[in-house]
Amino acid sequence: MTPVLDLQAVEKRFGAVTALSEVDLTIDRGEFFALLGPSGSGKTTMLRVIAGLERPDRGRVLVEGREVTALPPYLRNIGMVFQDFLLFPHKTVGENIVFPLRMQRRSRAEQQEQLAWVSRLVRLQGLEERYPHQLSGGQKQRVALARGLVSRPTLLLLDEPLANLDRELRREMEVEIRRYQRELGIPFVYVTHNQEEALTIADRMAVMYRGRIEQVGDKLDLYMRPETRFVAGFLGHPNRFSARVLEIADGRMLLDWNGVRLRQERRFETRAGETVELFLKSERIRLCRRPDEAAALPNRVPGRLQDAIFKGVFADCFVTLNNGAELVVAATPDAAGIPRESPVTLAWDIADAHAFPVEQEGGGS
């Protein structure tokens, strides 16, 4: 089956800046796809290339198997929801929403029919006669979504659509947007720099960094099995530390971390004496009050609890280890009751931390 969207070795430069470099990506029918990355990683440029607002310097863009690389945006039938909504200020809500249909010269009756349908979908009934400046932020967001969906485009692009909304509204809209996607079956490409949002809303995702796709796949895979150092250090805000390789055997490494021995999976070429960097998500660490609780786990490090902050579902514990390092642990909420300065042991399995070769600053992935 041909994918809805197929990017092949797409490259885009702005002067000396490489915004996209050799990007390959396919998006399938009915998929909710998130593009995640820090600002300046090239994700907005990628959306603009897909929409036809930027012409790539190299590579090809295919929509439903048809090459559209050189096609202007108005011939692509791709919907888009912009970060600042970008509603047309001189048009009413209704006029804004039917704009794509008018441009496609659909009949007046059909315009009204689709307007009624999409207003019901995004719950905007009764606001059709208002002007954008008379709407709240959430209502503007719904109008922007309705305008993006009304012509049932091949693909809907969403560029940080919730960035300008407050937290409560964002939660609500995340659920709403997911609902629209399910009901319509149109593939959504959702750009965000907010990893919680990407993890909540999408099925599959790509992490971008410096104009490249670092890793693409099922969101759980990216979270649990990062393949690059950047993804490992980005998703889940993990603890990060360096250790020296002592021995290598049976696909495992024995590491020395400031005098503490650690056992770790070996997934890349390395030799004894080299330094590796480890990323360890705080929720993968077990916090034990008695050392024997951790006996089953290969990595055990003693330390002292500095502080525990109750967060409801869990508690953030700050532990100073006996080797001088400090780790953050997401423990069960009752950990908030442990007295400060209590001795504790932190433990984790060999696959819980992700190790990568140490890189020189400024190097690529």
Partner 1 sequence: MGDGRRTSFFLQALLLAFLYLFLYFPIFYIAFLSFVENTTWPFPPLYTLEWYSRLAIMSDFHEGLFNSLLIGLGTGALAALFATAGAMALLRYPVRRKALVALLYLGPLFVAEVLIGISTLMFNRNVLGLPGNLFSAILSNTTHALAFAFLVVLSQLVRYDWRMDDAAMVFGARPLRCFFEVTLPSIWPAVLGAFLVSFLLAFNNFEISFYNLGAVPTLPTIAWGTLRHGIEPELYALATLVNLAVFVALLLLYLLIRTGLVRIGLPED
CB of 99 to partner 1, least distance (A): 5
Find the binder of partner 1 among 64, 66, 104, 343 (CB under 8 A).
104
Find the binder of partner 1 among 2, 24, 67, 72 (CB under 8 A).
72
Residue 282 dihedral angles phi and psi, to the nearest 5°: -65, -25
Q: Which stretch binds partner 1 (CB under 8 A): 46-54, 168-176, 288-296, 304-312?
A: 46-54
Find the binder of partner 1 among 10, 34, 49, 80 (CB under 8 A).
80
CB of 205 to partner 1, least distance (A): 23
Confirm or reject binding of residue 103 to partner 1 (CB under 8 A): yes
Per-position DSSP letters for 175-222, written without gaps between them = HHHHHHHHHH---EEEEES-HHHHHHH-SEEEEEETTEEEEEEEHHHH
Residue 245 corresponds to which amino acid?
A: V
Q: How far apart are CA 358 and CA 70, in angstroms?
A: 41
Task: Report, in angstroms and rounded to the nearest whole number, the Rg of the chain calculated over CA atoms.
Answer: 25
Give ∠ CA 263-268-274 in degrees, rounded to 5. 65
Contact 349, 280 (CB under 8 A): no
User: In the complex with partner 1, which residue's Cβ is closer, 65 or 72?
Assistant: 72
Confirm or reject binding of residue 161 to partner 1 (CB under 8 A): no
CB of 51 to partner 1, least distance (A): 5
Give ∠ CA 318-321-323 in degrees, rounded to 5. 150
Find the binder of partner 1 among 1, 39, 89, 313 (CB under 8 A).
89
Confirm or reject binding of residue 12 to partner 1 (CB under 8 A): no
Q: Which of 49, 35, 40 is nearest to 17 (CA)?
A: 40
Confirm or reject binding of residue 151 to partner 1 (CB under 8 A): yes
Contact 68, 99 (CB under 8 A): no
Site for partner 1, residues 240 to 299, rule: CB under 8 A: none
Q: Which of 9, 10, 32, 12 is nearest to 155 (CA)?
A: 32
Confirm or reject binding of residue 73 to partner 1 (CB under 8 A): yes
- Residues touching partner 1: how many (CB under 8 A)? 27
Confirm or reject binding of residue 87 to partner 1 (CB under 8 A): yes
Q: Where does this chain bind partner 1 (CB under 8 A)?
A: 48, 51-53, 72-74, 76-80, 82, 84, 86-90, 99-100, 103-104, 132-133, 147, 151
